[in-house]
Amino acid sequence: MSIFRPTSIVERITDVTPSMLREMGVKAVLLDVDNTLTSYQSHEPVEGAVEWTHQMSTEGFQLLIVSNNYQSRVEPFAAKFGIGFITFAMKPLPFGYIKAKRLLKMKASDCVIIGDQVFTDITGANMSGMKSILLSPVERENGTLFRLRRHLEKPIREKYK
């Protein structure tokens, strides 16, 4: 299996269902923030995301935000969602993923990471032995590095669509 291959691909966070997660055999959901739960520079969650997290919790899934961003960016979202968080996760390196599974008292195979980037979220999940769900980004980023990364992701997304 390619290190870049997601376990599943959906358009938006709200397209992920409890039955889909159960079929994947997961008990814990690790969530990215930017372009997953919110647009890149927004301070508000995307429509339906807060309700989605509440539904997943009610269905028995443990939830945790795992972000490369700083606490000042992530903490307000975690508060809105009512879930814990890990910042400066250094994705795709496995440190944040390992910390998350230990915090949740889960095996890697019981976890899925949901995010919008192949080279961070998906690669990190695969290197950590976790499942992954790749989303379409909520919005296009303006930075040169992001545009380059999205350009390099395009053939990978097409291949596994």
Q: What is the DSSP letter of 43?
A: S
Count Cβ atoms within 10 A of the Cβ of residue 69 and give its class: 0-12 exposed, 13-18 middle, 19 or more buried: middle
pLDDT given at position 113: 97
CA 31/CA 64 separation, integer angstroms: 6
The string over 119-147, giving b where at least 16 C-beta atoms fall within 10 Å of a residue's C-beta and e elsewhere, is bbbbbbbbebebbbbbbebbeebeeeeee
- Answer yes or no: are the C-beta atoms of 119 and 92 closer than 8 Å: yes
**Taking 70 as the threshold, does the pLDDT of residue 145 lie above it?**
no
Please choose, from the candidates 140, 143, 82, 137, the residue with its C-alpha nearest in 3D space to the C-alpha of residue 115. Answer: 137
pLDDT given at position 41: 76
pLDDT given at position 120: 92
Domain ranges of the chain: 8-160
Contacts of 94 (CB under 8 A, 6+ apart): 124, 127, 128
pLDDT given at position 143: 62
State which amino acid sits at residue 146: F
Architecture of domain 8-160: 3-Layer(aba) Sandwich (3.40)
- Answer yes or no: are the C-beta atoms of 63 and 56 closer than 8 Å: yes
pLDDT one-digit tens code per residue, 59-110: 999 999 999 999 999 999 899 999 999 999 999 999 999 999 999 999 999 9
pLDDT one-digit tens code per residue, 22-48: 999 999 999 999 889 987 778 789 999
pLDDT given at position 1: 55
Quick one: pLDDT band at residue 137, thresholds 50, 70, 90? confident
Q: pTM score, two decimals?
A: 0.89
CA 132/CA 154 separation, integer angstroms: 17
Q: Which residues pair with 32 in a beta bridge?
A: none
